[in-house]
Structure 1
Amino acid sequence: MEKAVLRATVERLVSDGYSRMTIGDIAADAGVTRPTVYRRWSNKHDLVVDALDFNFQEERERHPVGPLEELPPVEALRQALRHASPFGPTGRGLTVIGNVLSEAERTPGLIELVREHALEPRQKPLIDTLRRLAAQGVLREGVDAELVADMMIGSYYASYMRQGERDPELGDRVVEMAWRLMGIEG
């Protein structure tokens, strides 16, 4: 029952956004009653926090990034960037992020939850890969791993806003360009 409610909550967050989703709709989608939901969660915010945390944990378990250290540098960077994609493994990540951003002023805890449980774990392998490549002398000296990661991940947002759709080849093109700009030897 709990997993059904948590999954229904994420689905409603994607389809309706935080402000329009209701406990009644979530309960109906999960096949339970509103009192059943309220026995476990006292309000919508607490339910959404648990649902997002559950969803992000499931994503990490289903789609681990793998051992990037064993890959050639360019492929490691490609895999790390694919893992960091704001679309996430389900393709709905950007919608969740957009809905959370639209609620940032009214419900500030949501953005912190997404940052801590979704964005940072997705970005960490990319930043770690960039740091490892820099430490190995593969990258030009002085490359700021966090800034480069932000730029690479930011390209997904910019491309989506410009084109209005997901570009499945974008990550590979970004890595190719970054490879040249960072002076990576290869």
Structure 2
Amino acid sequence: MSKRTTAAAEAAAAGGRPRNPAIEDAIIDSTRELLATKGYSAMTIGDIVADAGTTRPTLYRRWPNKYALALDALRYGLRKQREAYQPLNLDRLSPREAMVEAVRRLDPRYHNPRAMTLHGNFMAEAERVPHLLAQMRELGNQPRCQELTDVLTELQQRGAVRTDVDIDMVVTLCFGSYFADFNRYGGDVPADFAERVVATLWPALATE
């Protein structure tokens, strides 16, 4: 059964009953898909409820407006992405392996192949809806980059990374490499991409 059929059935059965998570999931899924394919400004509440197989009153009982729904859809996707990661244990990895794993986790496409399109759409809205891109930075980009910052800082403290390294710039270069790769080649990121990024940078970072 499709998400639209499921959501419609749940909505019909729900009536005055407590909220049904299946309906909310269908609305969030539809919003995420439409944000990537149509963009925030072009996406309408009508599009969302039609795709999710539900109704406007059902949606508005949960979210006051399109912006609040878009933020919840963004938070949902980012939370699922973070939950997909295994804990990063530096004691079980060599310094270079730890950096490779942290760089791999910078990829916006991890667990969401449409993430680059979503980023592009949010950047395109920077003039019309600046808070949307700000939320992407706060909820997605900064936490993702912070993990690499923390890893490199810890490696510095352990003596594996030089103390004069500009960690913030290294993180920016690593994060930006994924966008550069997508803009140059498109498609999925190569399996060895993080290793190649670190192989290029590591000689300038390592103490030995």
Q: What is the TM-score normalised by the length of structure 2?
A: 0.82
Structural mapping, 1:105-184, within 5 Å: 105-168=127-190, 169-184=192-207
Question: Is residue 68–residue 80 contact of structure 1 (8 Å, CA) maintained in 2?
Answer: no
Q: 1:183 to 1:59 in 2, by over 3 A?
A: closer
**Residue identity opposite 1:15 in structure 2:** T
**Residue identity opposite 1:164 in structure 2:** G
Q: Show CA shifts across 1:53-73 (max 9, x none).
A: 122112222x12412312111
Distance 2:103 2:186 in 1: 20
Q: How far apart are residue 184 of structure 1 and its match?
A: 4.2
Structural mapping, 1:1-80, within 5 Å: 1-61=23-83, 63-70=84-91, 71-80=93-102
Distance 1:65 1:108 in 2: 33
Q: Show CA shifts across 1:105-141 (max 9, x none).
A: 1111111211121112211221111111111111122
Distance 1:65 1:54 in 2: 18
Distance 1:184 1:112 in 2: 36
Q: Is 1:94 paired with 2:121?
A: no
SS at match of 2:164: coil
Larger mean CA deviation between 85-94 and 124-133 belongs to 85-94
SS at match of 1:84: coil
Instruction: Give the aligned length.
Output: 184
**Residue identity opposite 2:87 in structure 1:** G
Larger mean CA deviation between 69-78 and 85-94 belongs to 85-94
Q: 1:55 to 1:167 in 2, by over 3 A?
A: closer
Q: 1:183 to 1:60 in 2, by over 3 A?
A: closer
Provide structure 2 residue ranges, at least 5 long, that are not aligned to the other structure: 1-22
Q: How far apart are residue 2 of structure 1 and its match?
A: 1.2
Q: Which has the larger radius of gyration?
A: 2
Question: Is residue 65–residue 125 contact of structure 1 (8 Å, CA) maintained in 2?
Answer: no
Distance 2:172 2:108 in 1: 11
Question: Is residue 65–residue 79 contact of structure 1 (8 Å, CA) maintained in 2?
Answer: no
Q: How far apart are residue 183 of structure 1 and its match?
A: 3.6
SS at match of 1:141: coil
Q: Any runs of at least 4 consecutive aligned residues in structure 1 with deviations exceeding 4 A, and if so which? A: none
Q: Percent identity?
A: 41
Distance 1:150 1:68 in 2: 23
Root-mean-square deviation (CA, aligned residues, Å) is 1.5
Q: 1:4 to 1:69 in 2, by over 3 A?
A: same
